[in-house]
Chain A
Amino acid sequence: VIVDCDIHNAPLSEQALHAYLPAAWRSRRAVGGRLSPTFERQRETLGDRSYLGSEYPRATPRAARTDAWPPNGAPPAADLSFLREQLLDRYDIEYGVLTPMLGAGEQLDVESGAALASAINDWQIAEWLEPEPRLRASINVAYEDGALAAAEIHRLGHDARFVQILMLIRTAEPLGRRKYWPMYEAAVEHDLPLGVHYGGWGRGPITGTGFGSYYIEDQVGMATAFQDQLTSLVVEGVFERFPTLRVVLIEGGIAWLAALMWRLDRAWKLLRAEAPHLDRLPSEAIREHVWLTTQPMDEPTRAGDLGVLFEHLDMDDRIMFATDYPHWDFDSPERAIPKALGADRRRRILRDNAHALYRLDSGDG
């Protein structure tokens, strides 16, 4: 039995999503022209206002598996029946967590992004959660504005089918900053983990050393974005200020975390005067507050190194399986988690850890 923590469902088209926009955003005339026409102007006149100057030709159309296009012509992961056939039924998936990545958080106009986030969430309820009880969803938010993000969390936090909040790892400021705290406060209030997923755009170069030239640099480099953001969360004392906050790092891989914990512990011992809110080893805070998903599963060349890594991480109850369906670097539940890790560890990764984090045994589904 499998829980898949990263499924990228998509709408049939941009217009299909617009049907779920809050009324004020759907039609300028409906509100007498008093409200900002920003959304219409941006989506219909300007298009998407994000990722400016940061375009890489990618591996495949929509970064999808070439066999993930449904026979009916819909985009990958936009047709529920084909998603059932190719993923949920094919691999006997007990629960799947939806993580639609449709740009709500990266909009330069945060109010437009918040409206888009609401539409995405209502679309998930109507077209995914209602017809398919195996699915759970993530609350999309306009995460660059803490108050707007918190409002959306409060709007939907009572619906147990939403099991986490979703944002992307590259943000405009480091995640420890105060501007994000209202979102953390709302997450804690509703006991929802904060899922932070691969991707996003910090509105500048995508590394601390400028823009790379190729998609592989963007893709490999994402692991450094996770390292730097976790550093910020820990050093700024976010886990001390929000002691019940749970953070899930999605599609970042896992192997880099052991080295980061060692490095942070050593740095903290020398420089802790700079981190007055952090009163214990960074690795202790990380092991208490952080979960990770496996895809893209780290694949050391030497057979024994993966087992050594798991010993170094010492986070067997924090690592959760994900496929990243329908993307090209999909991890198969049948092959991605090596048997050499042991039956007990595999069961935790493939199912139990996600059950515990997302409280999937609690009913409602």
Chain B
Amino acid sequence: LTVAIRLFPRRGTMAEADATGISLVDCDAHAVVADITVLEPYLDDHWREVVATTQFAGPTDQAHPPNLATSLGDYAPVGDAAPGTTLAALRAHVLDPLDADIAILACDYAVDSVRNPDAAATLAAAANDWLVAEWLERDPRLRAAIVVPSGQPAMAAAEVSRVGTHPGFVAVHLPVRVAMPYGNRQWWPLFDAITGHDLVAHLHFGGAPGLPPTASGWPTSWLEEYADMASAFQSQLTSLVAEGTFDRYPGLRLALLEAGFAWLPAFLWRFDKSWRGLRREIPWTKRVPSAYVREHVRIGLQPVDGPPDPGQLLELIDQLGSDDLLMFATDYPHRHVPDGLAAIPSGLPVGLAERILSANARDLYQLP
């Protein structure tokens, strides 16, 4: 892990001696579909023909626009591949320098932007077959989240059932922005499949439902969308708790990725207070919302969206009220800090740092 510390020169955390021996888990590294030609070997004859004859090139929406400062860190080229698009690049940029024990792949290929449900399902299946063949079966350090057509709950459930038995898949990738919040009971078939295969639900930054990202329409800039994504996470947690998803699925495990966490204490104070006044409306909930969140939810560390003052940042982390919530993540190849691969708050108690860097993810994903 000494290498990891070198990668965060201005944000170095524990003394090297304290860090030695921790087997790092990165719970959010991206496997990026560069374009649809990558998936052609995994499409059937019909869809290969559609691609060849119609100019349909698969999803073009991107959770991160191509050339913004947040979209790509400074990475040395690995062959011709853009960062994140090949296993070789991932090894060179993340796995080897961090000496990571395990990385969990997120593929945010925007199949949800494709309105044709058969196309969306086919592309999701192709992405999953690509993840298995070109990533999971080539490096034992990798795990991945299943790509699903998140505009179609029943088809999404079918895809989870199709590939959910592969040992490399440990989660299901759910874009945080969807047309209908995940607590809505129309999503139950998907959560049946997720919990039936003992997978983690990954609620991830992004999503392309074609509806505005705020209650008041489309913001002008991507900067606003980036900031507003915290609202989408709050809305989804509200829905999942209030509509009883955790009561119906008591074993459900949920990870928030690329969500930030600074908003969580304030959100839970508000939600707990409202629950005390309004619980009659949702009688299936038996505990304050914060109790559900602390039991069922874990959060990827990037972006560290707390205060710049290290002392205040530790106060905020203390307000999370649990050492079990945060899990180290790089969000490779995206960038949330001006320098380095990822930020780790400085001055963490060693025990908490160990939980964040390794143990919390191992517990959540039931890793060795």
Contact = CB atoms under 8 A, between A and B. Distances in A.
Do A and B come from the same complex? yes
A243 interface: no
Contact of B70 (A225, A255, A271, A300): A271
A175 B215 CA distance: 11
A170 B265 contact: no
Interface string A202-224: 10111111111111110111011
A229 B234 contact: no
Interface string A285-315: 0000000000010111110010011011000
A208 B281 contact: no
Contact of A217 (B216, B220, B242): B242
A224 B234 contact: yes
Interface residues of B, number: 73
Interface stretch (A29-37, A185-193, A231-239): A231-239
A284 interface: no
Given A227-B231, A264-B227, A301-B269, A214 B178 contact: no
Contacts of A253: 266, 270
Contact of B266 (A59, A225, A256): A256
B211 A215 contact: no
A210 B211 contact: yes
Interface string B60-82: 00000000111000000000000
Contacts of A267: 70, 223, 226-227
Contact of A270 (B269, B280, B335): B335
A300 B231 contact: no
Chain B CB count within 10 A is highest, among A170, A258, A275, A299, for A258
Interface in A28-70: 57, 59
B212 A262 contact: no
Contacts of B167: none
A211 B181 CA distance: 7
A256 B183 CA distance: 23
B40 interface: no
A172 B277 contact: no
Given A208-B231, A270-B338, A258 B266 contact: yes
Assign chain A's interface to a size class. 35 or more
Contact of A266 (B209, B219, B303, B321): B303
A215 B312 contact: no
B228 A270 contact: no
A228 interface: yes
B236 interface: yes
Contacts of B226: 267, 271
A174 B218 contact: yes
Given A174-B224, A217-B239, A223-B234, A206 B219 contact: no
Contacts of B280: 59
Contact of A202 (B215, B269, B281, B312): B215
B177 A209 contact: yes
Interface string B263-307: 101110111111101101110000000100000000000010111
Interface in A161-214: 169-177, 202, 204-214
A220 B227 contact: no
Chain B CB count within 10 A is highest, among A215, A255, A259, A269, for A259
Interface of A: 57, 59, 169-177, 202, 204-217, 219-221, 223-225, 227-229, 231-232, 235-236, 253, 255-256, 258-260, 262-275, 296, 298-302, 305, 308-309, 311-312, 328-329
Given A172-B216, A235-B223, A266-B305, 16 more contacts: A171-B216, A177-B220, A209-B176, A209-B179, A210-B209, A212-B242, A216-B278, A227-B230, A228-B224, A232-B216, A262-B306, A264-B227, A267-B227, A298-B269, A300-B319, A302-B319
30 contacts: A172-B216, A174-B220, A208-B211, A209-B181, A209-B207, A209-B235, A214-B242, A217-B239, A217-B243, A224-B215, A224-B235, A229-B216, A232-B216, A232-B220, A235-B219, A259-B305, A260-B227, A260-B263, A263-B227, A263-B230, A265-B308, A266-B303, A270-B336, A272-B223, A273-B69, A274-B68, A274-B222, A300-B319, A312-B307, A328-B277
